[in-house]
Amino acid sequence: MLKNLLCAVLTVGLLAACGEPEDTRPGQPVKTRQLAFKEFIRQFEPMGKMLRDNRYDAARFLTFAEALDAAKEAPWTHFGPDTQYPPSKSTDAVWQKPDAFAKERDAFLAATGKLLEAARSKDKAQVDAPYKAVYDTCQSCHRQFRQR
Ligand code: HEC
C-alpha cells in the first residue's frame, strides 16, 4: 500500500525499485537508451528552471546546452529490431512507423543545435524561444512514441 503510493509519486529515476523488470539482454539496449534519455532530462531541466525562475546564468546555461548537444545522438542507435521488451516504455509505433520516428528525432536534433547557437549569444531574450522549441520536440515525439 505504502509502496504503491510511493511508486505513484516517485520520478522515473526510481521506478526500478517498483518491480520494473531488469534488462538482461546482451548490451542492454533498452536500459542503455533509457539512460541516454535520462541524460537529456538531466541537462535540459536545469535550463528550464533557470528560465522559469528568472535566474538566467548565461555561462551555466551554455554548459547545459553544450552537454545536451553532446548527448543528443546517444539513444537512437539503441532502438534496434527486436528491442521492444520490458522494461521498454516505447510504443510499437517506433518500429511500425520508422520514418515518422526519424522525423521527430531529426526535428529534435535540429532544435538542440539551434538552442546551443542561441545559448552562445548569452542573451536571455534569444534563448527563450529555442528552449521552448526543444521542449516541443520532446513532447511531440513522446505523444506518439513513448507510453504514458
Ligand atoms: C524522437 C523521439 C524522442 C525525442 C525527440 C525525445 N524522446 Fe524521450 N523518449 C522517447 C522514447 C521512445 C522513450 C522510451 C524509451 C524506452 O523505454 O524504450 C523516451 C523516454 C524518455 C525518458 C524516460 C527514460 C526512462 O528511464 O524510462 C525521459 C526522461 C525522456 N525520454 C526525456 C526526453 C527529453 C527531456 C527530451 C527532449 C530534450 C526527449 N526525451 C526527446 C522518445 C523521444
What's residue 18's pLDDT? Answer: 67
Residues 6 or more apart whose CB falls under 8 angstroms from that of 112 comprise 68, 69, 72, 134
Kindly calculate the radius of gyration of the chain based on its CA atoms and give it in whole angstroms: 17
Protein residue closest via CA to atom 7 of ligand 1: 138
Give the model confidence (pLDDT) of 80-114 as tens digits.
999 999 999 999 999 999 999 999 999 999 999 99
Residue keyed to cell 528550464: 48
List the residue whose alpha carbon is closest to atom 21 of ligand 1. Answer: 37
Omega of the bond leading into 87 within 30 degrees of 0 (cis):
yes
Residue of the CA atom closest to atom 37 of ligand 1:
138
Mutate to test the pocket of ligand 1, among 47, 135, 138 (most ligand atoms within 8 A of CB): 138
Q: Are 20 and 87 in contact (CB under 8 A)?
A: yes
Rounded distance between C-alpha atoms, residue 11 and residue 8, angstroms? 8
Q: Looking at this protein, which amino acid is placed at residue 78?
A: H
pLDDT score for 26: 93
- 138, HSE (Cβ side, Cα atoms, 13 Å): 15
Rounded CA separation 50/46 (Å):
6
- The C-alpha cell of 35 is what? 539512460
* 86 backbone dihedrals φ, ψ, rounded to 5°: -55, 140
Grid coordinates standing for 140?
511531440
Report the pocket of ligand 1 as residue ranges, CB < 6 Å.
Answer: 12, 30, 33-34, 37-38, 40-41, 44, 88-90, 94, 101, 104-105, 108, 134, 137-138, 141-142, 145-146
Quote the percentage of the chain above a pLDDT of 90.
86
Q: Average pLDDT for residues 46-64, to the nearest whole number?
A: 98
pLDDT: which is higher, 14 or 138: 138
Using alpha carbons, select from 15, 16, 62 the residue that is nearest to residue 43.
62
